[in-house]
Structure 1
Amino acid sequence: MARTRDRITTVLALTLSTALTLTATGCGSENTSSSSSSGVQPAGRNEDAPVVVVATTSWEGAFAKAAGATDVKVIVPESVQHAPDYDPKPSDLAAVAGADFVLYAPFEPYAAKFKEAAGSDAKLVEVNLDNDADKVKAEVTRLGEMFGTQDAADKWIKSFDTEYAALQNDLKAAWPDGKAPTAVAQVFATWSAKMAGAELVGTYGPEAVTAKQLSDLSKAKPQLVLDNAHMTTGKVLPDSGARQVEIVNYPARDLDLLAVYKNAATQVEKVMAAS
Structure 2
Amino acid sequence: MARTRVRHTRIVSLVALSAALPLLTGCGGEDAPATGTTGTTGTTGTGATGTGGRKPVVVVTTTWEGALAKAAGAEDITVIVPQSVHHAPDYDPKPSDLAAVAAADFVLYAPFEPYAAKIKEAAGSKARLVEVNLDNDPAKAGAEVVRLGGLFGTEDAAAGWKSRLDGEVTKLNGELKAAWPDGRSPVVVTQVFTAWAAGLAGATTVGTYGPEPVTPSQLASLSAKKPAFVLDNAHMSTGTVLPDAGAEQVAIVNYPGEDLDLLAVYRDAAAELKKAMG
Matches within 5 A, 1:64-213: 64-91=69-96, 93-213=98-218
Identity %: 61
> Could you say what secondary structure the match of 2:86 adopts?
coil
Higher mean Cα deviation, 83-92 or 230-239?
Answer: 83-92
Question: Normalization by structure 1: what TM-score?
Answer: 0.91
1:46 CA drift (Å):
4.1
What is the aligned partner in structure 2 of residue 226 from structure 1? Answer: 231
- One-letter code of the match for 1:12? L
1:28 CA drift (Å):
3.2
Distance 1:212 1:97 in 2: 49
Question: Normalization by structure 2: what TM-score?
Answer: 0.90
1:36 CA drift (Å):
1.9
Distance 2:49 2:273 in 1: 48
Distance verdict in 2 for CA 1:46–1:136, change over 3 Å: closer
Number of aligned positions between the proteins: 264
Contact 1:43-1:121 within 8 A present in 2 as well: no
What is the aligned partner in structure 1 of residue 33 from structure 2? Answer: 32
1:75 CA drift (Å):
0.4
1:88 CA drift (Å):
1.9
Contact 2:59-2:104 within 8 A present in 1 as well: yes
Q: 1:257 aligns with which of 262, 270, 277?
A: 262
1:241 CA drift (Å):
1.2
- One-letter code of the match for 2:134? L
Query: Any gaps of 5 or more consecutive residues in structure 2?
Result: 1-10
- One-letter code of the match for 2:32? N
Query: Any gaps of 5 or more consecutive residues in structure 1?
Result: 1-7
Contact 2:47-2:53 within 8 A present in 1 as well: no
1:92 CA drift (Å):
5.3
- One-letter code of the match for 1:28? G
Contact 1:12-1:89 within 8 A present in 2 as well: no
